[in-house]
């Protein structure tokens, strides 16, 4: 089967022939530079024992490259019309499964049957199977998709995704910078994070209003194993960055309300040597991990004292 020639005019004609137009609420900005579609696929360094999840099939141009390189591809598209078009293009490929629907079950969870299919595909491939997310993600849901995927079983070994550049900057941000926040700490605690390429709006049709970036995340299982309670860590990091401008002490006191009192919070912060004027956004990732674990232990102690 011929690969679609993904230029803006090819795509607009193809959609028009099906009576369709890009739907902006679904973040339908299609990559029209085939070299960049290749760059995304190549950056993932796929193997035949990889199971790849693609969120946002579109008309399937990245999907066909994923199918060529990986063992199995599960691709999901929210738009019924695009799902139908992609099925016509890709339906003959034995290692591609196309799902129609929302990849997110709600803002904190991915669609359970999608994850079930990933697990099934991995068990079919066997013990060397890896799980990858490779996608040109819809920008409005890129952050919950990547963040929540890290809490799933399996979580991805590698993520290569096109996202809004601003989100990419937040992912790789260093402590003390304006972009450093909960997303940086969460993902940098679990993965080596890098920006592969910044993309101008020109390489998409229709053009988005913002720059984009291809990011790559490489999971580090030994880092993950150092975090005793991932869900607690995820939630608490979000709490710590909720009020960026406040001092750490007042952020922790308000975030831990009903769980730890002021004296208990001061004990934790004192034991870690934080001054009155410390701020969360200045703390390196490893220090935030230490702080969250100390808060968790203090909560466990406080609960056991109540009982």
152 is in an annotated binding site: no
Residue choice 73, 90, 103, 183 for contact with ligand SAM (CB under 6 A): 103
**Beta carbons of 240 and 280 less than 8 angstroms apart:** yes
**Beta carbons of 198 and 165 less than 8 angstroms apart:** yes
Which of the ranges 28-36, 165-173, 235-243, 293-301 carries the binding residues for ligand SAM, by CB under 6 A? 28-36
Burial class (CB in 10 A: 0-12, 13-18, 19+), 64: buried
Assess 26 for contact with ligand SAM (CB under 6 A). yes
Least distance between ligand SAM and beta carbon 281 (Å): 30
29 is in an annotated binding site: yes
Q: What is the 3-state secondary structure (H, E, C) of 74-141?
A: EEEECCHHHHHHHHHHHCCCCCEEEEECCCEEECCEECHHHHHHHHHHHHHHCCCCEEEEEEECCHHH
Assess 58 for contact with ligand SAM (CB under 6 A). yes
Which of the ranges 27-35, 89-97, 176-184, 261-269 carries the binding residues for ligand SAM, by CB under 6 A? 27-35
Residue choice 41, 66, 72, 82 for contact with ligand SAM (CB under 6 A): 82
Closer residue to ligand SAM, CB minimum distance, 20 or 230:
20
**Beta carbons of 128 and 157 less than 8 angstroms apart:** no
Binding-site residue ranges: 29, 31, 56, 77, 102, 136
User: Which residues in this chain contact ligand SAM in the complex, by CB under 6 A?
Assistant: 26-31, 55-58, 61-62, 76-79, 82, 102-104, 136, 138, 141
């Amino acid at each position: 089967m011929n690969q679609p020639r993904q230029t803006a005019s090819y795509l607009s004609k193809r959609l028009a022939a099906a009576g369709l137009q890009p739907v902006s609420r679904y973040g339908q900005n299609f990559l029209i530079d085939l070299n960049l579609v290749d760059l995304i696929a190549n950056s993932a360094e796929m193997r035949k024992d990889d199971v790849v999840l693609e969120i946002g099939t579109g008309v399937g141009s990245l999907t066909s490259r994923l199918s060529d390189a990986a063992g199995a591809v599960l691709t999901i598209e929210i738009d019924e019309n695009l799902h139908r078009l992609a099925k016509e293009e890709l339906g003959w490929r034995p290692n591609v499964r196309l799902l129609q629907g929302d990849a997110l079950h709600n803002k904190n969870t991915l669609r359970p049957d999608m994850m079930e299919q990933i697990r099934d595909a991995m068990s079919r491939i066997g013990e060397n199977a890896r799980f990858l997310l490779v996608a040109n993600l819809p920008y409005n849901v890129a952050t919950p998709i990547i963040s929540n995927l890290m809490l799933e079983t399996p979580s991805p070994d590698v993520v290569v995704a096109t996202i809004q550049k601003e989100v990419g900057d937040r992912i790789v941000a260093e402590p003390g910078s304006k972009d450093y926040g909960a997303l940086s700490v969460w993902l940098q605690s679990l993965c080596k994070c890098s920006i592969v390429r910044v993309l101008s709006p020109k390489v998409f049709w229709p053009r988005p209003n913002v720059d984009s970036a291809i990011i790559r995340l490489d999971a580090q299982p030994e880092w993950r194993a150092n975090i005793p309670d991932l869900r607690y860590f995820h939630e608490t990091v979000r709490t710590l960055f909720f009020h960026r401008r406040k001092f750490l002490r007042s952020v922790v006191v308000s975030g831990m309300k009903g769980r730890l009192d002021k004296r208990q919070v001061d004990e934790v912060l004192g034991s870690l040597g934080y001054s009155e004027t410390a701020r969360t956004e200045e703390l390196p990732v490893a220090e935030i991990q230490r702080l969250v674990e100390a808060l968790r232990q203090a909560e466990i102690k406080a609960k056991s004292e109540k009982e």
